[in-house]
Chains A and B, each alone.
Chain A
Amino acid sequence: MAIEKFTYDNKLAKSFAVVTILWGVVGFLVGLIAALAILWPSVSMEMPFLTFGRVRPLHTNAAIFAFVGNAIFTGVYYSLPRLLKTPIYSKILGWLHFWGWQLIIVLAAVSLLAGITTGKEYAELEWPIDILIAAVWVIFGWNMIATILNRRTRHIYVAIWFYLATFVTVAVLHIVNSFELPVSLFKSYPLYAGVQDALVQWWYGHNAVAFFLTTPILGLMYYFVPKAANRPIYSYKLSIIHFWALIFIYIWAGPHHLLYSSTPDWAQALGVVFSIALIAPSWGGMINGLLTLRGAWDKVRQDPVLKMFVVGVTAYGMSTFEGPLLSLKSVNAISHFTDWTIAHVHIGTLGWNGMLTFGMLYWLFPRFYKVKLYSTSLANTHFWLATLGMLFFAIPLYFAGFTQALMWKQFTPEGYLKYTNFLETYTQIRTMHLLRAFGGVMYLTGAVLMVINLIKTAQAGKFARYEEDQAASRESGNHGAETFHRRLERKPVTFTILALVAILIGGIVEFLPMFLIKSNIPTIASVKPYTPLELEGRDIYIREGCYNCHSQMIRPFRSEVERYGEYSKAGENVYDHPFQWGSRRTGPDLAREGVKGKMYKPDSWHYEHFVNPQKTNIQSIMPPYPWLASNDIDVDKIPAKLRAMKKLGVPYSDAEIENAVSALQKQAQGIAEGLRQSGIEVEDQREIIALIAYMQRLGTDIGKASASGMTSK
């Protein structure tokens, strides 16, 4: 057994750590701007890129993919070589990964603020960036797997199981959810529509939480917690069971985001049962993390790193218990579309992801610079600011979510909605949003203290780029009796393939019936494609990120039918590429906005309201959109948009595509003429006309069916 010497290069891990901190602060700051933009619509200063609809996707993308993403890569590039006793396979691939990922982040920030978006939550980036993400992700995986194949250790450790599962699953999720047909460099339509798009999107969205915010962080936990505590992992058996159970079960749970929507009952039920089954596998990770600290609790009291890990892992346990509870239909009927969801995800990100990352950074920097941490008390202050900030953030939102849901559902004894005006239910929780912003400020302040502390630490020491290590070379052949899983740990490629199979099953079982069996989405004969003007209006709706505050999904509840009109049917969204059901009702649902019933407002009201929402209600928190009344519709792209839709299966005739521009102009002229009669000076070709056309179309198609009795099943 020859002992070999080799060298680790810390520069890549350190660079990822630096950008983790940078994007973390940016992500928190953008979150704070979003929180303030909800409180005061004037925060947007009538500038498109400061409206909540554009800032919120930037916040979520920055927090998930820039902050947590770079934190994952920091941990992987530091731990992987050490766990395998070999340097990273290729420095070139490593740096391509690093710069490629930072380029994606910058492109994301610019394009999202510019309103370039697919309109699918957490997958908003347009197709050229999607391709770049896929390429960079493959580079990451290639480098990781090649490093694993170069290893000197015989077996791969549990942290690496999680890294591998992360790599394959995120690749599958990203590719399947990003099938889209480009119309131009900055615009595409997704392959799927309506219920199918919703199912794919939330399979993706839920598993982005699972395989971007959970499994890689569990990998980091399995390395950094035992290292920092200098304690053995509590149970190897538990590692095996909870790893496989977690990745197999997680993938099924996506439909719990679609409870009481027009998704078929069987798909919703799968979302419920697999979410409940997730409690134990998730808690397996928490137990293995916390019980690894047995015998080291005295250290936990003094060491800010371990304190952060304990709060992080505990937050993981809390949110993985809460998540399944929210997946029960009776709970979801209250929590969905409210701030409860926002509170829940922030326990996950601020607690689990944030604390694990901060702890890791406080542990790594002294090792990078071969010096003690500049200030333990400053780190302790950060710990308290982050912990209390998280609570100040989440508790008011739980209260707000519960309050608003109950107000939405309350009836008077005579059978009328108690709070007829939607805005009333928001005004009631505004104070809670103020407190939430305060919690955010605390959390951000803590992060700024970390920046100071880590800079001071770096200045006190000298960056130790290279670290020597030694290990015996890897021997092949059999070494006596091994369990099946132990053998598997020697076969990383087989391991990866098995993980891939485990994560494919759930998706396939849910998707195939939805795409192949027609009865899952009963057709409604009177549902027709959008006119060119309405389609253009819909694209503006997506560009402005209206879905960030307005849902388009009336659930089959008495209170929602009473407020908004007939509950939404699956067949209504068959031409919606992408679907726009939304996930939070900061403003009212718009699924039946055009129906001349409960929600209807005339064109002139929409015009006044878009230009200055506070004119129609001083308490309104919607930002003004005056540019819609001065920007012109880009008519040149209209035929290409219709052609793309036709390719995706929307039945536009050749004549309709050929006459699209004149049809658009004619419809626009009619609306503008009506507005001018009401005394509003507006020109036909303005964007606001298209958006009004879309508003007035929303939800109206099935009314035409019941009027003429033409519904077909």
Chain B
Amino acid sequence: MTTDEISKNKDQEQYEIDTLTNDRLIKDHEYDGIKELDNDLPPWWKWLFYISIAFGIIYLVRLWVFQSEDLYQVQEYQKDMEEAASIVTKPAADFEIKVLDDPASLANGKDTYDKICQVCHLIDGGGLVGPNFTDNYWIHGNTMEDMYQIVTDGVIEKGMIPYKDQLSPTQRLEVLSYIIKDLHGTTPANPKAPQGEELEWPY
């Protein structure tokens, strides 16, 4: 008998073999009929574990030793903001405050109105928290220039927030054009009582 065969025989003495897989069962490991095999940890599993631990060590070393910028969220944020400032396109120099009456602009304006303005002025412009746009009474003037200034800077003490950070200049023109051209003069379902002074309609 070679040494190999001897050790094999020894093994067979010590271990029972699971016939379906040819794996060794562990002696005396039986719980309510459940036995356990003596298989080693799968190598790929061990490597997965090692690599995930290495990832953690590298991550923490980068955080604490090298203080890598991308792991500190405020620095990451500041970098993002600087990048954003450099890619944003500035509004055209020839920008002019005027009523836009092409259908595309009015459609865009309606889109913006229905998403944002209606929350306070209602979908039909009848007014709720904010004033009615359909009548001839105006609190802060009724020209495009007046209204543009209100949308841009707001009237915060009355609850109208500034939209200069939320709507582009063109979007502001579009939505005001929609109010001026399409909403004003219509008959809303529940019009809010007139507010401000009656002004002659310039458009």
Contacts and interface: CB of A to CB of B under 8 A. Distances in A.
Interface of A: 79, 82-83, 85, 153, 155, 157, 159, 222-223, 226-227, 231-239, 241, 245, 260, 265-266, 268-269, 272-274, 276-281, 283-284, 287, 291, 294-296, 329, 411-417, 420-421, 423-424, 556-558, 561-562, 567, 596-598, 600-602, 604-605, 608, 615-618, 678
Given A83-B32, A273-B56, A413-B88, A600 B25 contact: no
Contacts of B88: 413-415
A558 B80 contact: yes
Nearest to B159: A602
23 contacts: A82-B32, A83-B34, A232-B18, A235-B37, A235-B40, A235-B41, A236-B26, A238-B42, A277-B56, A414-B168, A415-B84, A415-B87, A416-B167, A417-B166, A420-B116, A420-B167, A556-B73, A558-B84, A567-B77, A601-B119, A602-B158, A605-B120, A617-B118
Interface in B7-61: 18, 20-21, 23, 25-26, 29, 31-42, 45, 48-49, 52-53, 55-57, 59-60
B84 A274 contact: no
A283 B23 CA distance: 21
A276 B52 contact: yes
A233 B37 contact: yes
A600 B161 contact: yes
B66 interface: no
B63 interface: yes
A155 B120 CA distance: 71
Contact of B165 (A235, A237, A287, A598): A598
B97 interface: no
Nearest to B42: A287
A237 B39 contact: yes
B202 interface: no
Contacts of A277: 49, 52-53, 55-56
Contacts of A412: 168
Nearest to A81: B32
Nearest to B162: A597
A273 B64 CA distance: 13
B72 interface: yes
Contacts of B6: none
Highest count of chain A CB atoms <10 Å: which of B39, B57, B76? B39
A321 B159 CA distance: 48
Interface of B: 18, 20-21, 23, 25-26, 29, 31-42, 45, 48-49, 52-53, 55-57, 59-60, 63-64, 71-74, 76-77, 80-81, 84, 87-91, 115-116, 118-120, 123, 128-129, 156, 158-159, 161-162, 165-168, 171
B166 A416 contact: yes
Across the A-B interface, give the 7 residue pairs with the lowest CB-CB distance, nearest first: A602-B159, A295-B20, A273-B56, A415-B88, A280-B49, A556-B77, A232-B35
Contacts of B52: 276-280
A279 B60 CA distance: 18
Contacts of A272: 59
Contacts of A296: 20
B31 A157 contact: yes
B35 A233 contact: yes
Contact of B129 (A155, A222, A279, A602): A602
B59 A269 contact: yes
Nearest to A678: B129
Given A414-B91, A416-B167, A597 B34 contact: no
B76 A280 contact: no
A280 B36 contact: no
A602 B128 CA distance: 12
Contacts of A411: 84
B166 A265 contact: no
A424 B161 contact: no
A235 B115 contact: no
Contacts of A274: 56
Contact of B38 (A236, A260, A605): A236
Contacts of A268: 73
Contacts of B64: 266
A159 B26 CA distance: 17
A233 B32 contact: no
A598 B72 CA distance: 26
A237 B34 contact: no
Given A272-B59, A415-B88, A416-B168, A557 B77 contact: yes
A413 B84 CA distance: 10
A420 to B, nearest CB: 5
Nearest to B37: A232
B58 to A, nearest CB: 9
Contacts of B116: 420-421
A21 B21 CA distance: 37
Contacts of B87: 415
A297 to B, nearest CB: 10
A273 B55 contact: yes
Contact of B81 (A417, A420, A558, A601): A558
Contacts of A266: 63-64
A557 B74 CA distance: 9
B159 A414 contact: no
Contacts of A600: 156, 159, 161
A140 B118 CA distance: 57
Given A269-B59, A616-B120, A238 B41 contact: yes
A153 B129 CA distance: 75
Contacts of B57: 273
B34 A616 contact: no
A605 B37 contact: no
Given A234-B37, A236-B26, A280-B52, A597 B115 contact: no
B118 A608 contact: no
B159 A558 contact: no
A616 B119 contact: yes
Contact of B45 (A85, A231, A284): A284
Given A414-B168, A567-B77, A604-B159, A157 B34 contact: yes
A602 B160 CA distance: 8
Contacts of B159: 600-602, 604-605
Given A272-B59, A601-B159, A236 B36 contact: yes
Contacts of A417: 166
A269 B62 CA distance: 10
B150 to A, nearest CB: 15
Contacts of A233: 34-37
A245 B49 contact: yes
B93 to A, nearest CB: 14
A611 to B, nearest CB: 12
